[in-house]
Structure 1
């Protein structure tokens, strides 16, 4: 019995000492009162413009990630977390350092990624970060890790120069410090219990021997000495000393933060833009657009527009400079007001969003525009613009999404077919067979009248003109979005090519017309011009009626001849 007690006490004491050391190490050195395990500050340098983690580094979610960084030379530094789809696009083809592994509490494993020397867009100006911090001195973030592929990025705040920083990474596990203290207490209790068992018990005095008493044992009962040996049970006190700490240990450990769950989401999508960011984009557009219009500045307008819309704006400036050299007819300032935002979700770039806004310069018209971002580091650019009447029934932009082939099959006409039908309608005139597919609108009627007028002879001499034609086509696939109702919002640009062939021996010029802003020469064979139409269509689902032309804006963009 003494040996069992001594052995049990020794084991409990040693176990308690080990558990107490583990608890103290966890609570006061590894974790600390903030429940955060840090890898230890490391010097990180990059031959490129950024240090970015791989998605595999953050492959578990739940705990809070802590990142601290400051530059070696005191220059402003940026720290941020974003979806991998954004970071991958932002750093594409750029040299940077990949952070592949963090080994707690010592080492960081990095790998250089080859690419260009940049520069990159200043990261703090971009709107897709989940969390970020930027500025001089030490910058820190705390981000509850979400399910899915996310990356941590550290770089200079200007995005222009190579990086040399001191960085520290930490993981916050809720309750880890208290759990460490609990383990320490359990260890101390086990140690105390072992010490108690190791202390010899004082023997009680032996009572005086009594006279032996003869006892008759019944014949049907076995003799005591003939039975098997019984196991020696632990004393009740010892059982309590072992059981209570063990139960307490289980409770404390199970009460601590569980092991972070492995990510289940392999890819992420997100709305193209938030409402606040879209409002900021439009506010900037209003300011730059008014400045560009006032100066008829082709380069300035190119910072906020692209594609056919930019071509139309710059053509308008060309005509204005030629016909209003004094600048007395420059468009006055205006702005898009109270925008409604339609932001589809995307899993990659490019991305687009749609806006429906008021026009400060008109009570009778709205603005319907589309804005695109080619990559995560590029600015939002307006690529489509038209001015529907306020009476136009624009589809609700809430819940707008990019159209799929399955969506197109449910419409009265596929988006490309609808745009082509309108081009054929405008080419052939009011009596075209395609006319019955569209709801009549003032905008379409005005274009039909202009096209018909352009085809009329400009000379009474039948020999002077051999041919006059105006053909409308769809040069590029339309952008199509689906509203919650199932109706499609189709945004397309049509191109009208005008041709006047001169008769033998005759020459023509554009005279004093707006086309002369592009060419004032005399042409022996033909005159040519190009006009763009930015058109917004509402294409209903089958059985939902005819196609509606919501808006149609016209702009002459080129003229010449041969």
Structure 2
């Protein structure tokens, strides 16, 4: 009868297997993370909300205060980040899109009825707003000097440190805003990082799989049983 003796795993081989599994997990995480970034931001490094209707019977839709700090690190890593807004609609006077310091925007809209956005997401797009009543009339927003970025249809703002709000209004400041908006978050350097993560993850996965295949225990050659002693 022929038997096969399994080979025992040496401590070195066990260590190789453990390290290979760890490398495999890291590779999967890198590849999946890079793939998701490539899928969401694309080759241009932009997260796009798509076009959505934004309307209010009040004088303005106002975002919550965005507290932005330490953009220099983000700039060094991912290039110059920016936000782009593309819009259509408004009344006969047209539409106004503006981004300005939060304190100045609040001062300008004191006593004016507005829709205050409490939560805003790009992907998937979501705008959760609560109405703030008021009786004051807003002057035409373009007459205000504090806007850091403004326009009627297309606005791009290079993101900088500070506290900011964005507004959507009729160009004459009257109530009843009906618009369609698309918002893009632009991170131009992200594509390179995402591609590097994805490729590095695939390389690590391949290396780990090869190491695991080579580290598999091999069966010893079959051993024949000792011959039976002769009978007399």
TM-score, normalised on structure 1?
0.32
Root mean square deviation of aligned Cα? 3.0
Question: Which residue is 2:24 aligned to?
Answer: 13
Q: 1:22 is matched with which residue: 18, 24, 33? A: 33
Paired residue for 1:190? 204
Aligned match of 2:46: 36
User: For residues 26 and 193 of structure 1, what CA distance do their matches in structure 2 show?
Assistant: 23
Q: Is the 8 A contact 2:68 2:160 kept in 1?
A: no
Specify every segment of 5 or more residues in structure 2 that has no aligned partner in the other structure, as ranges: 1-11, 72-80, 218-232
User: The residue matched to 2:168 in structure 1 has which SS?
Assistant: strand
Runs of 4+ displaced beyond 6 Å: 72-75
45, 53, 56: which is aligned to 1:46?
A: 56
Contact persistence 2:17–2:215 (CA under 8 A): no
Residues 442-494 of structure 1 deviation map (CA, whole Å, 9 limit, x = unaligned): xxxxxxxxxxxxxxxxxxxxxxxxxxxxxxxxxxxxxxxxxxxxxxxxxxxxx
Instruction: Tell whether 2:69 aligns with 1:60.
Output: yes
- Give the Cα separation in 2 of the matches to 1:126 and 1:73: 20
**Equivalent pairs, count:** 196
Any conservation in 2 of the 1:64–1:143 contact (CA below 8 Å)? yes
Q: How far has the Cα of 1:7 moved from its partner?
A: 3.9
1:98 aligns to what?
116
Aligned-residue offset at 1:117:
6.9
- Write out aligned runs for 1:157-236 (5 A): 157-200=171-214
- Describe the superposition over 1:228-260 as per-residue Cα deviations: whole angstroms up to 9, x where unpaired: xxxxxxxxxxxxxxxxxxxxxxxxxxxxxxxxx
Aligned counterparts of 1:39 and 1:113: Cα–Cα separation in 2: 26
Q: Say whether the 8 Å CA contact 2:122–2:183 is kept in structure 1.
A: no
* Corresponding residue to 2:134 among 66, 91, 115: 115
Cα contact 1:23–1:182 (8 A) shared by 2: yes
Query: Which residue number in structure 2 is paired with residue 385 of structure 1?
Result: none
* 2:141 is aligned with 1:130: no
Larger CA Rg, structure 1 vs 2: 1
Instruction: Select 2:159's aligned residue among 128, 145, 148.
Output: 145
- State the alpha-carbon separation in 2 of the partners of residues 128 and 202 from structure 1: 68
* Cα contact 2:58–2:177 (8 A) shared by 1: yes
Relative contact order higher in (CA < 8 Å, ≥ 6 apart): 2
Q: What CA distance in whole angstroms lies between the structure 2 residues aligned with 1:129 and 1:61?
A: 21
Going from structure 1 to structure 2, the CA distance change for 1:47 and 1:64 (only over 3 Å counts) comes to: same
Per-residue deviation at 1:53? 2.0
Taking a change above 3 Å as real, the CA distance of residues 70 and 150 of structure 1, as seen in their structure-2 partners, is same
Structure 2 length normalisation: TM-score? Answer: 0.70
Aligned equivalents of 1:46 and 1:168: distance in 2? 17
Q: CA 1:7/1:85 → structure 2, altered by over 3 Å: closer, same or farther?
A: closer
CA 1:18/1:28 → structure 2, altered by over 3 Å: closer, same or farther? same
